[in-house]
Structures are given as structure tokens and as C-alpha cells.
Chain A
Amino acid sequence: MMRGQVVPEEARAWTAGLLLSSAYFAHARREAVAKASAAIRGRLHRARRATSEDRGTSR
């Protein structure tokens, strides 16, 4: 389950001019890369597991 704000606090701070765009984008990039990394590695792991299971059943 996932629950959160549609427009998070840091994004509101940026759009309200309370946070410099350089700081906002540096933070957003770090977060995006970390989440993307976890998501892609998770997908690859699942794909590898599914492939090996398929091999096991086809024998």
C-alpha cells in the first residue's frame, strides 16, 4: 500500500518560492535516481527469477 501527498511539501516550497530551484532539483534528482534504481533492480530481479522458474518447469 502507498499513501502520500499529491503535491509534496518540498514541491510546494519550490512553487511558493521558499526553496531555491537548485536545491529542489538536486534533492528531487537524488530521490528519483534512488527510487528508479530500486524499481529497475527489483524488476530485473523478478524477471530473472521468472526466467529461471520457467526453465525449471520446462524440464
Chain B
Amino acid sequence: MGSTPPLAGPGPDTGAAGAGVLGEPLIRRRSRLRTWLLLEAGAVTLGYTVAVLRDGAPATGGAWALVAAGAVAVAVPLWVKSRRELRQEIDTRSAETLAIETDAKLRLIVGDVVTPIAEVVGRVHQTSGKGERESLRGQLKQLVVEAAANLCDGERARAVFFQLERGEMRAAAWFGRGEPPTTVFTDGPGDRRGQEALLLVRFHDYLLVDDVRADELPRGAEPRPGASYRSFISVAVFCGQQNLGMLSVDAPEPRAFDETDLNVMRAMAQLLGAGLVDHR
């Protein structure tokens, strides 16, 4: 891939949408509520003190005890109310932040990823030259793995497209953390994982595993010895009856992916399938 400077200059990568960008105004608004609560407490204290001192300072121990009991009776509901308001404020802000994150993710998926990739799929089928079409398809594979790794929630996600050719699947494009994938899925009698991966493609299935060490895995879904991932999603890539391969995303932490990520992967796999399918 070529490299040009970032569009908006260097800046904090917001990663999980919302962090950093949303944090500051959230704190500022909360501190404003604290100020109001402090003012309210000050006004109540002043009012109570004036009421107590209006008829002169308490002279006896009993009178002082009565003043203290009155102060507690005023302070407790004030304290309970301020705690409740602060908690409500935090809950409201959390809900707002979650709503913003969800909306931002939707915008990112639909507007910034699916739309440009769909345009490339269209160009693949418009192109008449075989060489140019293959070049666009290579580009499409790379775009899809980049999108999958960036959109799925794993902190250090890696996305791989294993292309199906002559009954075997090999990595044709990958993006994300470290090591390039070396796995080759075959139908050989000793390759149980390969057989299951090929079956997943043949049946047009997907598989989401939260934790390869904790879950009771279906046969053949176990990681190879020394694998660096704990959770993964694998999705068949196909178009009509043409099987084209498998799109996977994995992460070193358990439970890195949820159903939203699975749906993103399904959409990415179908876009890839639409671009790779041959005209019959």
C-alpha cells in the first residue's frame, strides 16, 4: 500500500469511539452540577444558621444538642439528594456516550466502509481486462481485511482472508497484529481443522468463539498449538453456489467480539464474495 500523510494530521486515535474525544465535556458538565450542589448546601447551611442564631446562641447543653440534631436532620436529606443527582448525572452521561458510540460505529460501517467497498465491487465487474480485474480483486481483498480488523472490537485484532483454490485454503490477504498467517486448510485425513474449515465454507456458515481455552469447541475448531489468539470469528465467503474462501478475525484477548462484529464480518464476507465471483 502507498502512504500519504494522514488527512487530519497526527492526532489521538479514538479507538473505541468516544474515549478521549468525549471525555472532556463529560467531566466539565459533571463539575458544574457539583458547583450547584455546593451552592445549594451553602445556602441551606446559611439559612439554618440564621434561623438558629435569630433568637441568640444556644445557652444550654440541651439546646446545643437540639441544634446538632436539627443540623443532621437538614444535612442527611441534602446529602442523599446530592448523591442521587450525581449518580443520575453519571448514568445520563454514560447512556449519552453509549448512544454516541453506537451512532458513530453505524456511520463508520455504513458510510466509510461499506459504501467505498461496494464501489470497488462495482468496478471489478465493470472492468473488461483480466489483469486489471485481478488487480482490483487483490485490492478488494486487502480493503476487506483492513476494514474487518479496524471495525471489529478486538484491541489487537487480525483479519485474514483464506482463499479457496483447488480444495485448499491459504491466506490471500491479511491485516493487523504481527505474525503473517501461515495456516493452510486442507482436506487431508490428518488435517481435522482443515476439514472443518472447508465444511464451514461448503455449508456457508459462520463461527464465533469467545474463548478458545474456555468454550466447548466444535471438533476441528481448536487452535493450533502455540496460536496467539483467544477469540475469533470465521465466516464463509461465497456468492450463489460459488465457494470462495473464509474471512476470519482473531484477537489475543478472550471475548473480544460480539454479535455486532459478527454482523460486520458477514457483511464484509458478502461484499468480498460479490467482488470475487466469476461470471458464469
Interface set of A (CB-CB < 8 Å, partner B): 6-7, 10-37, 39-41, 44
Additional A-B contacts beyond A18-B2, A32-B17 (20; CB < 8 A): A6-B115, A7-B115, A10-B7, A11-B112, A15-B116, A15-B143, A16-B139, A23-B7, A24-B7, A25-B108, A27-B6, A28-B108, A31-B112, A32-B104, A32-B105, A32-B112, A33-B21, A34-B21, A37-B22, A41-B96
Q: Which residues of B contact A20 (CB under 8 A)?
A: 1-4, 6
Q: Which of B101-157 contact A (CB under 8 A)?
A: 101-105, 107-108, 111-112, 115-117, 119-120, 139, 142-143, 146-147, 150
Please report the C-alpha to C-alpha distance between residue A45 and residue B210 in the assembled complex, in whole angstroms: 39
Q: Provide 16 A-B residue pairs closer than 8 Å at the C-beta atoms, listed in order of the A residue.
A: A7-B115, A12-B116, A16-B139, A19-B3, A19-B4, A19-B7, A20-B2, A21-B146, A21-B175, A26-B13, A27-B8, A30-B8, A31-B112, A32-B105, A36-B17, A44-B96
Assess the B108–A27 pair: CB atoms within 8 A.
no
How far apart are the CA atoms of A18 and B2 in the complex, in Å?
5
Is B18 interfacial (CB 8 A cutoff)?
yes
**B window 80-108: CB within 8 A of A:** 96, 99-105, 107-108
Report if B56 contacts A (CB, 8 A).
no
Contact of A36 among B6, B7, B100, B147 (CB under 8 A): B100
Closest A-B pairs by Cβ, 9 of them: A36-B103, A23-B6, A11-B116, A36-B104, A21-B146, A28-B112, A32-B104, A32-B107, A27-B7
> Bound complex: CA of A20 vs CA of B19, how far in Å?
23
Minimum distance in angstroms from A16 CB to a CB of chain B? 8
The answer on a CB contact under 8 Å between A33 and B104 is: yes
Q: Which B residues between 210 and 255 are near A, CB-CB below 8 angstroms?
A: none
B76 to chain A, nearest CB (A): 30
Separation of A26 and B14 alpha carbons in the complex (Å): 7
Cross-interface CB contact of B13 among A13, A29, A39, cutoff 8 Å:
A29
- B: number of interface residues (CB 8 Å): 40
Complex contact B112–A33 (CB within 8 A): no
Q: Choose from B1, B13, B15, B99 the contact partner of A40 (Cβ within 8 Å).
A: B99
Q: How far is the CB of B131 from chain A (nearest CB, A)?
A: 16
Distance in angstroms from A30 CB to nearest chain B CB is 6
Q: Are B100 and A33 in contact (CB under 8 A)?
A: yes
B62 within 8 A of A: no
